[in-house]
Amino acid sequence: MHAASTELSKAIDAYLRSVALERGVSRHTVRAYATDLRTLADFIDDRGAEPDPALIDLELLREWAWHQRDSGLATATLARRTSTIRGFTAWLARTGRAAADPGVRLRAPRPDRSLPRVLTRTQIDDLLAGLADHASTDDPGALRNLAVVEVLYASAVRVSELVGLDLDAVDPGRRTLRVLGKGAKERVVPYGVPAARALSAYLERGRPVLAAGSSPSNALFLGARGGRLSARAVYALVASLLAELPGSGPAGPHAFRHTAATHLLDGGADLRAVQELLGHASLGTTQIYTHVSAERLAAAYRTAHPRA
């Protein structure tokens, strides 16, 4: 586990010892629990959340669950990992390491459940307009932030894929990105004109300023000190942008991925094309967005139709 997760790592180690001694489970089961809990620790570290087991809440757990589902896990594996997390949070509460048990309400996401956060077109437009206003000052961080969010929404890439992009992954002529996804699988994804404009402005006037005085980096997106932008920084940016918007559910970068997929299907995109864009190995993983679109249509019908 990451060094930043010291307190959480200690709690996980203590829990695994407790499981092994008190419940007498097999060594194989303990290893499986350790693997499951490591996904949570790594997620917390990447998200930039405080690695204190007492601060784990239901929203963070739900975002972890959707992140796990979006990675293409089999239903049985996701159910097992969710069960492991619930056991861990119950133990935290029982041993006084946490004031309450947030996992008691955690359920594994199902394909027929609505996504935790899908922004409306108006919300997206207003959010990007605000970022564009800041970028118009030519502040290098503001230029980068606009490009980051435009790319997240335009291409529906995962945050790990976004921060992993190098300069040579961008093809401005074709308006495509070469993305290295899960399992080291490479795919090419398109992006639109607004994202192209934001990228061009960032590369011309933002990135050179961020790169000045630091060691040369091939990373597309740079942080304030000139190194590769971290997933933690992107989580912090998106959380700040979504904090004031109405709507429930996790406020991480995956909100833009969920939103892009849903808006594509709302606009008539083919399901298999969306699957390819998202980099899902299974069409079943992508089909969750058809349920979301159907629910949105039903909600609009109930609101607008005089005989609904």
254 is catalytic: yes
Element at 178 (helix H, strand E): strand 176-180
Choosing from 33, 153, 191, 289, the catalytic residue is 289
User: For the sheet containing 170-171, what is the strand order?
Assistant: 170-171, 176-180, 186-190
Going by the DSSP 8-state scheme, the letter that residue 71 receives in this structure is: T
Choosing from 86, 257, 258, 263, the catalytic residue is 257
289 is catalytic: yes
Choosing from 182, 187, 205, 296, the catalytic residue is 182
10 is catalytic: no
DSSP per-residue codes, 36-60: HHHHHHHHHHHHT----GGG--HHH
Choosing from 158, 207, 258, 263, the catalytic residue is 158
Q: At what angle do helices 58-70 and 27-47 cross, to 10 degrees?
A: 100
∠ at Cα 139 (48, 214), nearest 5°? 65
Per-residue tokens: 291: 């349920």
113 is catalytic: no
258 is catalytic: no
Cα(257)–Cα(23) distance, integer angstroms: 41
Choosing from 254, 258, 296, 305, the catalytic residue is 254
191 is catalytic: no
- The residues annotated with a catalytic role in the active site are 158, 182, 254, 257, 280, 289
